[in-house]
Amino acid sequence: MAYKYSFNNFNKETMAKASSTNVTISLKKSVETLKMVKGKKVSTVKDFLGKVMEKKAVVPYTRYKAEMGHKRGKGIDTGGYPVNVAKEVLRLVIAAEKNASEQEISGDLFVLSASSRKGSGRYHNGRYSGRKMKSTNLEVIVGLKEIKKTKTSVGGDKK
């Protein structure tokens, strides 16, 4: 069975992808981190994830924020410093950027799609019955941002 990507309109001439399966990180934190990363320049994403790993930048939590503390920052209600998630996402962004350079895609690269899904459940030995470990499947697609063409009216105003 082939791996199904969450991004449907993949164009090999202008896009490159990188994915990893069964990474032992939190699904909820990865959803929030990838939401911040999506749509931004690759260089900006690298700087942001580096600051998150140094605990100088906050990832705002919008969906999974129950019983979460407030953080300092403009427009941030709740948030956190997901260091392990930032390491894995940074590794994937760098891999996707290298894949783009091997495919000879030049120009300003943007993160077009970034998604995470629940991975397979594995059991970890515990005191009595054990417990399930967390695992997440990650996917990052980088590429050139397409400029949408807008219609311009040729004639004057119609009355």
pLDDT tens readout for residues 96-114: 999 999 999 888 999 999 9
- Residue 65 placed within a domain: yes
Residue 74 confidence (pLDDT): 67
- Residue 116 placed within a domain: yes
- Residue 97 placed within a domain: yes
pLDDT tier, 149 (very low <50, low <70, confident <90, very high otherwise): low
CATH of the domain at 103: 3.90.470.10
- Residue 81 placed within a domain: yes
Provide the 10 A C-beta neighbour count for residue 105: 18
- Residue 151 placed within a domain: no
Q: Output DSSP code: residue 67.
A: T
Question: Is 0.85 topped by the overall pTM?
Answer: no
- Residue 23 placed within a domain: no
Range of 80's domain?
Answer: 38-124+131-144
The count of structural domains within the chain is 1
- Residue 12 placed within a domain: no
Residue 1 token pair: 């069975």
47-52-55-59 Cα dihedral, nearest 10 degrees = 130
Q: Which residues of 12-48 are buried (b: 16+ CB within 10 A; e: fewer)?
A: eebbbbbbbeebebbbbbbbbbbbbbbeeebeebeeb
Chain position carrying tokens 């894995």: 88
Given a cut of 70, is residue 154 above it in pLDDT?
A: no
- Residue 6 placed within a domain: no
- For residue 84, give the H/E element and its range: helix 83-102
